[in-house]
């Protein structure tokens, strides 16, 4: 393995790859710093460009954007009390009070140190956990895969939004949309027009679902208040503060690694769990929420700690844990690589190159964060009323360039309007997208399993692994319903 890693190191350490990763990190940090622009959007907007790149640089670009945007979300959270990404919401609790005290630089620096630490630990975990998990995954067949995906979908539906029922409805809509086009045996379904026989591409559906509703929200609700950014002020994180926060940073990184590796949990839940744990165990617990650097360290290390580990289920099992890794799954497939256990057999070199590239990107994240800290306060001031139409035009050009077809542009706009309706009816978009991406695989494995068992559905609960995933899915449903009932009572 060490030899393979060294060969991969040589292959990745080129100027071209460094420039791509640096551009990705920098772009991600800027996009993450703009309120309303999410890491998902950054990754999806970049997806059309990766069509014209080599496989590994294209995945590295997407990973760099993901990492950059996760850190970038903390910039506007600290400076203007508006988290650029959902996972940075927790950073606002202590970051903004610190900025109000004229210590925005200190808060940004602590966020950067913690993000890089969490990210690095997460990448190391990915390297050592993904391959053994993939070996284990080689032993599982269609029924086990089907149950695993059911578990992943249930988890995503349970933790996205505030209602499990709405999450499941969203997942059903995504699964249904995924059936448009040709099925595994060559039958055409829902081919209302000739174009629809080829199905719906992932890129226009996901960009439409996430980017366009943001524009429609601004147009319809005119929610464009501008915020005054804080001055950077006190920049230094003292050695004592760093020592005090180290325990929370390491604990947060591990929480991020574990929660990121479970499909559907994601960085937001990890950040809040880590913050809660840090507050519980800290000597300065009374200062949490008033500008405590330890609070920033806990939340930022946890949300960036998810970045590498969310790739574990994707690479080892072929199951995306969240929307961003769902997009990455699409990128892998575009380049002829299918994530899952076979990836480690067929594309081992590429996997190791990806691992090494991800480690490099942790270092680049630190450099990019340091170099552009002051600049971000200006970027965060771009009014949403100007930004959202610009994003729309970027989407239109990007999507058209993928297939040179107006059909994809129409799908993009239609999905945008559909996504807006989903927002109006409080139906979360994440389960829809994960279901849309997993749908064909889910159906294929189900139909294969039923064909193997000659139509007997009991094959879906015939082995200990299927039982494990089925029990986990039921467990998630029960726990989520219990929590929601508790909240409803309160």
Partner 1 sequence: MGMTRGFLITALFGVVLFVLIPVYVPRPSFIPGFAPPPDMWPRAISILGMVLGLLLLGLSLSKKTQAIADPEDASEIRGDTPLPTLLLRFGWSVLAFALFVGAVMLLGFLLASMLLLIVMLVLTGYWRHKWVSLMVAVALPLLLYLFFSSALNTRFPTGSLLRALGV
Sequence-distant (6+) residues with CB within 8 A of 150 are: 442, 469, 470, 473
Residue 338 near residue 43, CB atoms below 8 Å: no
Paired tokens of 40:
């998902």
Distance CA 451, CA 180 (A): 22
| Options 2, 15, 185, 228; binder of partner 1; rule CB under 8 A | 185
Name the residue nearer to partner 1 (CB basis): 231 or 401.
Answer: 401
State the nearest-atom distance from the C-beta of 404 to partner 1, in Å.
Answer: 6
Of 44-83, binders to partner 1 (CB under 8 A) are 52
Asked if 87 and 267 count as a contact pair (C-beta separation under 8 A), the reply is yes
Q: Report the SS3 class of residue 2.
A: helix
Q: Does the CA dihedral 355-360-363-368 come out positive or negative?
A: negative
| Among the residue ranges 16-24, 102-110, 292-300, 419-427, the one whose residues contact partner 1 (CB under 8 A) | 419-427
Q: Is 206 in the site for partner 1 (CB under 8 A)?
A: no
Minimum distance of partner 1 from residue 38's CB (angstroms): 16
**Which segments of 149-195 are extended strands (E)?**
181-182, 188-189
Number of other residues whose CB lies within 10 A of the CB of residue 37: 27
> In the range 430-469, which residues lie near partner 1 by CB under 8 A?
443, 446-447, 450-451, 453-455
Query: Which positions ≥6 away from 295 have C-beta within 8 Å?
Result: 93, 94, 275, 278, 279, 288, 289
Q: Which is nearer to partner 1, 131 or 175 (CB)?
A: 175
Number of chain positions touching partner 1 (CB under 8 A): 72
Alpha-carbon distance 407 to 82, whole Å?
36
Minimum CB separation of residue 72 from partner 1 in Å reads 22
Q: Which is nearer to partner 1, 92 or 325 (CB)?
A: 92
Residue closer to partner 1 by CB (options 221, 239) is 221
Q: Which is nearer to partner 1, 3 or 193 (CB)?
A: 193
Q: Which of 135, 386, 461, 479 binds partner 1 (CB under 8 A)?
A: 386
Least Å from the CB of residue 413 to partner 1:
4
420 contributes a contact to partner 1 by CB under 8 A: yes
Q: Supply the minimum distance, in Å, between the C-beta of residue 90 and partner 1.
A: 20
Does 181 interact with partner 1 (rule: CB under 8 A)? no
When the beta carbons of 223 and 349 are compared against partner 1, the nearer one is 223
SS3 361: helix
203 contacts 44 by C-beta, under 8 angstroms: yes
How deeply is 96 buried, as exposed, middle or buried, from its count of CB atoms within 10 A (0-12, 13-18, 19+)? buried
Minimum separation from the CB atom of position 292 to partner 1 (A): 29
Q: In whole angstroms, what is the distance from residue 327 CA to residue 40 CA?
A: 8
Which CB, 46 or 116, lies closer to partner 1? 46
Using the minimum distance from each CB to partner 1, give the nearer residue, 50 or 347. 50
Per-residue binder mask for partner 1 (CB under 8 A), 220-259, x = binder: xxxxx-----------------------------------
Q: Which residue has the tokens 């940073």?
A: 249
For 64, counting Cβ atoms within 10 Å of its Cβ (0-12 exposed, 13-18 middle, 19+ buried), the class is buried
Which residue carries 């990890």 as its tokens? 270
Nearest-approach distance from CB 485 to partner 1, in angstroms: 7
> Could you tell me which stretch among 24-32, 57-65, 174-182, 260-268 binds partner 1 (CB under 8 A)?
174-182
Please select the residue that binds partner 1; options are 1, 138, 165, 474, rule is CB under 8 A.
Answer: 165
What kind and span of H or E run contains 119? helix 104-137
Q: What angle do CA 25, 31, 33 make, to 5 degrees?
A: 100
Tokens of 345: 């057999």
Contact assessment for residue 352 and residue 7, using Cβ atoms and an 8 Å cutoff: yes
Minimum Å gap between C-beta 274 and partner 1 is 25
Closer Cβ to partner 1, 262 or 441, answer by number = 441
Minimum CB distance to partner 1 smaller for 382 or for 468? 382
Taking CB under 8 A as the criterion, which residues in 346-385 touch partner 1? 383-385
The residue from 9, 375, 423, 467 that contacts partner 1 (CB under 8 A) is 423
* List 30, 46, 173, 359, residue binding partner 1 (CB under 8 A): 173
Q: How far is the CB of 359 from partner 1 (least distance, A)?
A: 30
Site for partner 1 in 399-418 (CB under 8 A): 400-401, 404, 406, 409-410, 413, 416-417
- Comparing C-alpha atoms, which of 389, 422, 35, 45 is closest to residue 219? 389
Q: Shortest Cβ distance from residue 186 to partner 1 (Å)? A: 9
Task: Determine the Cα–Cα distance for residues 398 and 391; give it in Å rounded to an integer.
Answer: 10
Exactly one of 129, 140, 161, 250 binds partner 1 (CB under 8 A); which one? 161
Q: With beta carbons less than 8 A apart as the criterion, state whether 304 and 119 touch.
A: yes
Q: Which residue is associated with the tokens 């060294």?
A: 6
Q: Which stretch binds partner 1 (CB under 8 A): 137-145, 186-194, 281-289, 368-376?
A: 186-194
Task: Give dist(CA 21, CA 270) in Å, integer.
Answer: 25
Query: Shortest distance, CB of residue 111 to partner 1, whole angstroms?
Result: 27
């Amino acid at each position: 393995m060490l030899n393979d890693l060294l060969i991969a190191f040589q292959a990745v350490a080129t100027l071209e790859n460094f420039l791509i990763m640096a551009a990705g990190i920098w772009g991600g940090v800027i996009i993450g710093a703009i309120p309303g622009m999410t890491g998902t959007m950054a990754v999806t907007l970049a997806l059309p460009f990766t069509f014209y790149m080599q496989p590994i640089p294209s995945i590295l670009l997407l990973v760099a954007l993901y990492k950059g945007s996760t850190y970038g979300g903390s910039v506007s959270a600290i400076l203007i009390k508006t988290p650029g990404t959902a996972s940075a919401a927790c950073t606002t609790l202590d970051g903004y009070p610190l900025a109000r005290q004229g210590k925005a630089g200190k808060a940004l620096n602590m966020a950067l140190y913690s993000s890089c630490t969490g990210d690095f630990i997460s990448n190391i975990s990915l390297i050592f956990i993904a391959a053994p998990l993939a070996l284990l995954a080689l032993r599982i067949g269609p029924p086990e895969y089907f149950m695993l995906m059911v578990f992943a979908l249930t988890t995503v539906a349970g933790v996205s939004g505030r209602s499990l029922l709405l999450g499941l409805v969203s997942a059903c809509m995504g699964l249904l949309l995924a059936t448009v086009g040709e099925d595994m045996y060559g039958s055409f379904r829902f081919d209302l027009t000739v174009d629809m026989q080829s199905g719906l591409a992932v890129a226009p559906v996901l960009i439409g679902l996430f980017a366009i509703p943001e524009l429609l929200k601004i147009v319809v609700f005119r929610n464009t208040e501008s915020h005054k950014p804080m001055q950077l002020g006190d920049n230094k994180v003292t050695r004592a503060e760093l020592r005090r926060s180290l325990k929370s940073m390491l604990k947060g990184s591990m929480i991020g690694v574990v929660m990121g590796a479970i499909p559907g949990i994601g960085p937001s839940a990890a950040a809040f769990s880590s913050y809660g744990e840090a507050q519980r165990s800290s000597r300065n617990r009374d200062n949490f929420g008033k500008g405590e650097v330890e609070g920033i360290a806990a939340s930022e290390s946890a949300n960036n700690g998810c970045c590498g580990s969310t790739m574990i289920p994707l690479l080892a099992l072929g199951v995306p844990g969240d929307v961003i890794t769902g997009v990455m799954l699409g990128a892998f497939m575009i380049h002829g690589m299918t994530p899952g256990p076979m990836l480690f057999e067929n594309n081992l070199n590429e996997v190791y190159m990806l691992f090494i590239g991800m480690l490099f990107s942790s270092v680049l994240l630190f450099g990019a964060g340091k170099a552009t800290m002051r600049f971000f306060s200006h970027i965060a001031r771009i009014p949403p009323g100007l930004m959202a139409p610009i994003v729309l035009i970027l989407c239109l050009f990007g999507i058209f360039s993928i297939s040179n077809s107006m059909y994809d542009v129409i799908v993009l706009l239609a999905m945008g309007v559909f996504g807006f309706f989903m927002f109006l009816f409080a139906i979360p978009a994440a389960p829809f997208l994960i279901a849309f991406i997993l749908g064909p695989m889910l159906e294929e494995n189900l139909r294969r399993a039923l064909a193997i068992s000659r139509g007997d559905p009991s094959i879906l609960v015939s082995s200990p692994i299927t039982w494990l995933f089925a029990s986990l899915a039921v467990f998630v449903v029960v726990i989520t319903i219990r929590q929601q009932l508790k909240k409803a009572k309160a």
